[in-house]
């Protein structure tokens, strides 16, 4: 039986073209963020007024900005910064929200009512309004961005996992585990969680797209990562005043954001097909 399941799993993976494309693009992004700064010959922070607003050429494939900084070097350096921030801003809410949803759905009662009322209150406010309000009140910094996204995004994962737990805890295998005298911790984390976490994982891939847009939007508004650290949103904001004479300053970081969105869209679709195969 295990061999049959393993063979079916391998076959589903082999036929999952979206997952293949997503993994290849993700690998390319990670390699670019890690190896790119070592390969690109220019310093992303080096100012050279003599080469300011230079169009794309062999010496500067993505051109230079208004301070003469190499746009390719800055795009590559920003990839590591943005991907790191996005990873933390998605993983922390995923872990916290999944744990809260699991506990709330499993125990129910007054604890579930309190947690869900909190979720309903936060859910009533637009996502961007809450994030901008928190970062604006605390001040622009990476740590405050982590805090803002964690406080806002966890509610989505909590709602998803709680709904799945409410269905799963009524199934026979959970009731059997309870009759056998297993502890609540074992039932929750060994029997229920592995069977309800798939929708949250799939949603996490889609949430990456929203998060990368939010992170770069905060940078564009001056509430995110601060100069001179390279960041795609900040680069787009810097290039808006030179859109006619230096269109490349905003174009290439914008294309990088689109690439991240496409990558995790393919990953999300591929994981949905792989983890929840259709009949």
260 closest CA partner among 26, 78, 72, 23 = 26
HEC letters along 50-69: HHCCCCCCCCCCCCECCCCC
Token pair of 84 as six digits: 């790191």
pLDDT tens for the 279 residues of the chain, in order: 344 456 777 777 888 899 899 999 999 999 988 898 888 888 999 888 888 899 999 989 999 998 999 999 999 999 988 888 888 999 999 999 999 999 999 998 899 899 889 888 888 888 888 888 888 888 888 888 899 999 999 999 999 999 999 998 888 888 888 888 888 899 999 889 988 888 898 889 888 888 888 888 888 888 888 888 898 988 998 888 888 888 999 999 999 999 999 999 999 888 888 877 554
pTM comes to 0.85
b/e map of 199-238 (b: 16 or more CB within 10 Å)? bbbbbbbbbbbbbbbbbbbbbbeebbbeeebbbbbbbbbb
């Amino acid at each position: 039986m295990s061999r049959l399941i393993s063979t079916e799993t391998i076959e589903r993976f082999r036929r999952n073209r979206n997952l293949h494309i997503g993994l290849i693009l993700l690998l390319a992004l990670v390699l670019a963020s890690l190896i790119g700064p070592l390969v690109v010959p220019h310093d992303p922070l080096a100012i050279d007024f003599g080469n300011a607003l230079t169009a794309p050429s062999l010496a500067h494939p993505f051109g230079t900005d208004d301070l003469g900084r190499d746009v390719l070097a800055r795009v590559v350096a920003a990839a590591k910064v943005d991907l790191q921030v996005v990873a933390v801003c998605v993983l922390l809410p995923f872990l916290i929200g999944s744990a809260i949803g699991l506990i709330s759905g499993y125990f129910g009662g007054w604890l579930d009512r309190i947690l869900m009322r909190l979720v309903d209150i936060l859910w009533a406010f637009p996502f961007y309004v809450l994030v901008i309000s928190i970062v604006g009140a605390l001040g622009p910094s990476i740590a405050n961005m982590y805090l803002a996204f964690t406080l806002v995004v966890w509610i989505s994962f909590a709602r998803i996992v709680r709904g799945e737990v409410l269905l799963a805890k009524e199934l026979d295998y959970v009731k059997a585990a309870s009759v056998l005298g297993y502890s609540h911790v074992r039932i929750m984390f060994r029997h229920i969680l592995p069977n309800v976490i798939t929708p949250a994982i799939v949603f996490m891939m889609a949430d990456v797209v929203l998060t990368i847009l939010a992170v770069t939007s905060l940078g564009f508004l001056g509430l995110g990562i601060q100069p001179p650290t390279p960041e795609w949103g900040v680069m787009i904001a810097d290039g808006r005043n030179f859109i006619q004479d230096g269109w490349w300053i905003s174009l290439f970081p914008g294309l990088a954001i689109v690439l991240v969105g496409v990558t995790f869209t393919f990953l999300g679709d591929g994981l949905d097909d792989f983890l929840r195969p259709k009949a």
